[in-house]
Amino acid sequence: AVGVATAAIALGFYQNRWLLTAGAPQVVLAAALIGAWLVNVRGWRLWVVMGGAVALCAMGPWTLVRERLHVERVRDVQLGETMQLLYRDIAGALRKSGADQNSIVLADPNASVGVGYYGRLRTVGTLYWENRDGLHAAAEVLSAHDDADAAARVYARGITHVVMVSSYDFLPEYNYALRGGAGPSEDRAGLGHRLLYQHRVPVWLRPLNYRVPTPLVPLGFKVEVFAVDFETPPVVSHERIGRYQLSKGERRLAEVSFMAAMTDDATRPEPWLRMGELSLSAGRMPEALNFIRAGIERAPAGERERLVQGAAELFRRQGADGAKQAEALLGLFEK
């Protein structure tokens, strides 16, 4: 029993997931040792020793049972179960967006296992020694400071989707694995941090606008899901990233994205119109008028009347100054 238990424990030190296999030989060894120790114990001392052993061993199971009973009583779920529900929902969203068994998902190690399992998807970095290279590749991408470098690594790995979950983002550990130091530390310049906490998105990622299920919202998880897209022109990418940033309340970042779209292709109406709306909501009336006028001029002729009337109504809602700008806009496009 000693030899078997020792070998099983050694395997556990080699790979932590194998440590559970040491449980059975450990129980056999413990029973043998207790039997040997109690050979000469008699009377009430035997009952005291046995009672103490039972009480000691029962603490762990009783804690688990009590927690389970509490969860059932309040009709709730445990955190571990909650995460699995979240991973399953993310996997379903990826499937609905077009992901299949050939898709490759980049995420933290925990999400990689859960999302990959529920969605039957391939993943890059998981916590198995056999996948050390995959973990290193995930660290290189999510810790990258340069978007072009990250893009090259994503392309080389065939990654099709990126999933970021705040409950255990693993970003400090990825940074530590690459750069070392005294211990895991946050790197705000890394791609993963910029995606999850700053909403700064490179043009080769398409936001999928995933929403955490309503029952899980009180837990405060942040989840961002992206599809890798190297084919869409940068101007279109800037526009959709700007819309995504607006949905996250990042007005300043959205302005930067729409301005980048205008710089890439000044003939497209949407970035001009979006900048006009943002300027209008900020109370910058003349600036808003100029942007909206330019956007309407670039729109197809059949849509201009609708755009003019819609913009004029937005201006009127801003009070007297807005009403003046509305009249000016109508005058510019008066037939």
Q: Are residues 106 and 192 in the same domain?
A: yes
**Cβ contact 163:184 at 8 Å:** no
Q: Which of 228, 273, 230 is nearest to 254 (CA)?
A: 273
Q: Are residues 222 and 92 in the same domain?
A: yes
Higher pLDDT, 31 or 149: 149
Tens digits of residue pLDDT in 145-172: 999 999 999 999 999 999 999 988 999 9
Tens digits of residue pLDDT in 46-83: 778 778 877 877 777 887 777 767 766 766 666 667 89
Report phi then psi at 106, rounded to 5: -105, 125
pLDDT over 90 at 333, yes or no: no
pLDDT over 90 at 137, yes or no: yes
pLDDT over 70 at 322, yes or no: yes
pLDDT number for residue 76: 65
Per-residue tokens: 335: 């037939």
**Cβ contact 223:212 at 8 Å:** yes
pLDDT number for residue 179: 81
% of the chain at pLDDT higher than 90: 59
**Cβ contact 223:235 at 8 Å:** no
> Where in the sequence is the domain holding 14, given as residue range(s)?
2-73
User: How many C-beta neighbours within 10 Å does residue 323 have?
Assistant: 14
pLDDT number for residue 71: 65
Per-residue DSSP letter, 269: H
Residue in this structure with the two tokens 């997931």, named with its chain if needed = 17
Cα 195 from Cα 227, distance rounded (Å): 13
pLDDT number for residue 55: 81
Residue in this structure with the two tokens 């309340």, named with its chain if needed = 249
Tens digits of residue pLDDT in 85-123: 999 999 999 999 999 999 999 999 999 999 999 999 999
Give the chain's domain count: 3
Q: Are residues 122 and 143 in the same domain?
A: yes
Residues 6+ apart with CB under 8 A from 61: none
Query: Of 211, 231, 251, which residue is a domain's last?
Result: 231
Q: Are residues 129 and 169 in the same domain?
A: yes
pLDDT number for residue 185: 79
Q: Are residues 149 and 166 in the same domain?
A: yes
User: How many C-beta neighbours within 10 Å does residue 170 have?
Assistant: 24
Q: Are residues 221 and 308 in the same domain?
A: no
pLDDT over 80 at 324, yes or no: yes
Higher pLDDT, 39 or 286: 286
Question: How much is the average pLDDT of 296-303?
Answer: 93
pLDDT over 90 at 181, yes or no: no
Per-residue tokens: 95: 């499937």
Per-residue tokens: 143: 């810790």
**Cβ contact 330:308 at 8 Å:** yes
Query: Of 231, 253, 284, which residue is a domain's last?
Result: 231
As a dihedral over the C-alpha atoms of residue 177, residue 181, residue 187, residue 192, rounded to 10 degrees, the angle is 0
Cα 302 from Cα 308, distance rounded (Å): 11
**Cβ contact 207:226 at 8 Å:** yes
Q: Are residues 172 and 107 in the same domain?
A: yes
Query: Of 197, 231, 265, which residue is a domain's last?
Result: 231
* Element of type H or E holding 226: strand 223-228
Q: Which of 233, 245, 305, 311 is nearest to 273 (CA)?
A: 311
Q: Are residues 227 and 241 in the same domain?
A: no
Tens digits of residue pLDDT in 228-252: 999 999 999 999 999 999 999 999 9
pLDDT number for residue 150: 97
Mean residue pLDDT across the chain: 89
- Return the sign of the alpha-carbon dihedral for residues 130, 135, 138, 140: negative
pLDDT number for residue 202: 97
pLDDT number for residue 75: 64
